[in-house]
Amino acid sequence: MEAIVHVTGGKIRGRTENGISRFLGIPYAAAPVGPARFQAPAPVAEWPGIRDALEFGATCAQSPYPPPIDALIGSDGIPGDDYLNLNVWTPEVGGSGLPVMVWIHGGAFTRGSNARTMYDGTTFARDGVVLVSINYRLGISGFAVVEGAPHNRGLRDQVFALEWVRRNIAAFGGDPGNVTIFGESAGGMSVLDLIASPPARGLFQRAIAQSANGSTVATAQDAAEVTRHLAGLLGIEPTAAAFGDLDPARLRAAQDELARDVMLDPDPARWGATVIANGFGVMSLFPVIDGEFVLARPTDVLAAEPDRTVPLLIGWTAEEYRFFTFLTGAAAGITEQVLPFAVARYGLDPTVVATYAANRPGASPADVFCAIITDLAFRDDALRIADSTSRASNPTYVYEFAWRSPVADLGACHVLEIPFVFGRPDALPTLTGPNPPRAIADDMHGAWVSFATNGSPGWTPYDTDSRIIRVFDAPESADVPLPRADDLHALRQARPKP
């Protein structure tokens, strides 16, 4: 059965099945092509008649993931110009007052889209939530510092999409005054950027950050060095006009070459200290400090200005970095002799290895490395932001996803929790194995819905004294004092002093 709604731009036609209406590929901004690719998002043009919203829309130009990751989670790539689009799932077109959740996908700010099967919003709509998933500009288009173009175009897109939600979501039964933003990895980092960003103020009331940190921002000066390298690869001047003349395929190829160059030679003198340190030697294009959308690292902004915080649910997977280390084959090169140097590459005092190794008898050097960098890149920042939010007397909830995938050496790795959050644990068997525990999915999905609906996921709030967090695992999940607190203390002692 069809469902028709009037939104900014005109009427759209969706489809209703089993009581859930879905509208796919709705443009929330004008197509960013040619010179517009490097300008701020602009309003969408009116269309005549009724526009079909029955298929997923285009995605920002990107290359497939490297083969091991592509085989595990797949890649994105729907061609087309209208890639600033969003999807809506709702249980009640024409209703009112339903909680709204806006999903921001991950992908290291260079990949990903809202069209993935595991991001299907049907389960949220089934449980009374209007679910919105958005696309935004990625890579060079979204985050390169380019002369003649505004910074942080990808974040500007996200704010533009949230403004669209505020204006239009009531037509889908949603309450524009009860919006929760949530995202994972780069999407979770975007969530933290938006909490700290003045232009996003008031566009949402709660936030969920999965597997994120509040440190992945660079100075504009350092990011400009990256752009000069890109321009050199392309044989152009580093200007918006020159980049805008290129077709997406050339941008994509240069972006891929840049990523390889940074990973093979993570030299701060070449790329800028903040690009290497805050991108963890893996990411090369991500948000920059511009004094408008990004004032400083969100971790620092929220510590200094706690009034910017909002009710927060934040967490990580227990073994995030296995995704980047074992899946890529890098683990084989981390021997006992190499481990101290591998840790030092991330700016840590190698003495930190002793604590982590002592707490993991029998663990391989690669296991120890993954534990350290998981805490460095995810857990430490998440807890700092939880501390700031709690001190501001905003409701704060912290979780750890500890269930270990039976697939290869993945363990409780990055990305693993997403099918559980969406209440579809069997949506990605290449990642979870054939029989993931339904009980964890019911628990997590229900908690996310509850937090978006009434502000509580149903477990013990976090505070800086008790530090109680929710650990999701089988055979059952539980509220426990912060696990591995001595690891975290050692890590903080090993970090470079400001």
Residue 32 pLDDT exceeds 70? yes
The topology (CATH level 3) of 311-494 is: Rossmann fold (3.40.50)
Answer whether the bond into residue 475 is a cis peptide, omega within 30°. Answer: yes
Domains 2-218 and 311-494 share a fold: yes
What pLDDT score does 94 carry? 86
pTM: 0.97
Tell me, what's the pLDDT at 189?
98
The pLDDT tens digits of the residues spanning 145-180 come to 999 999 999 999 999 999 999 999 999 999 999 999
The pLDDT tens digits for 89-99 are 999 998 999 99
Query: What is the average pLDDT across 308-329?
Result: 95
Q: Which helix (H) or strand (E) holds 214?
A: none
pLDDT at 494: 95
**172 neighbors 130 (Cβ within 8 angstroms):** yes
pLDDT in tens, 252-299: 899 999 998 888 888 888 888 999 989 987 899 999 999 999 999 999
Per-residue pLDDT, 267 = 85
DSSP secondary structure, 32-61, as one string: --GGGGGS---PPPP-SSEEE--S------
Catalytic residue list? 185, 320, 414
Which amino acid would we find at residue 451?
A: F
For position 498, what pLDDT does the model report? 58
Phi-psi region of 154 (alpha: psi -120 to 50; beta: other; left: phi over 0): alpha
User: pLDDT tens-digit profile of 360-410?
Assistant: 999 999 999 999 999 999 999 999 999 999 999 999 999 999 999 999 899
Q: Is pLDDT larger for residue 498 or for residue 63?
A: 63
Rounded Cα distance between 412 and 320, Å, is 7
Domain ranges of the chain: 2-218, 311-494
In CATH, what is the architecture of 2-218? Answer: 3-Layer(aba) Sandwich (3.40)
For residue 376, give the 3-state DSSP assignment.
Answer: helix
Q: pLDDT digits over 229-251, tens only? A: 999 999 999 999 899 888 888 88
> CB–CB of 64/99 below 8 Å?
no
Specify the pLDDT at position 35: 83
pLDDT tens column, 465-496: 999 999 999 999 999 999 999 999 999 999 98
CA angle 47, 48, 50 (to 5 degrees): 95
Cα distances from 466 to residues 393, 469, 479, 485, in angstroms, run: 15, 9, 11, 12
Lowest mean pLDDT among 132-146, 209-223, 258-272: 258-272
pLDDT at 23 > cutoff 90: yes
Taking all residues of the chain, what is their mean pLDDT, rounded to a whole number? 95
Q: Is the pLDDT of residue 460 over 90?
A: yes
Of all residues in the chain, what percent carry a pLDDT higher than 90? 87
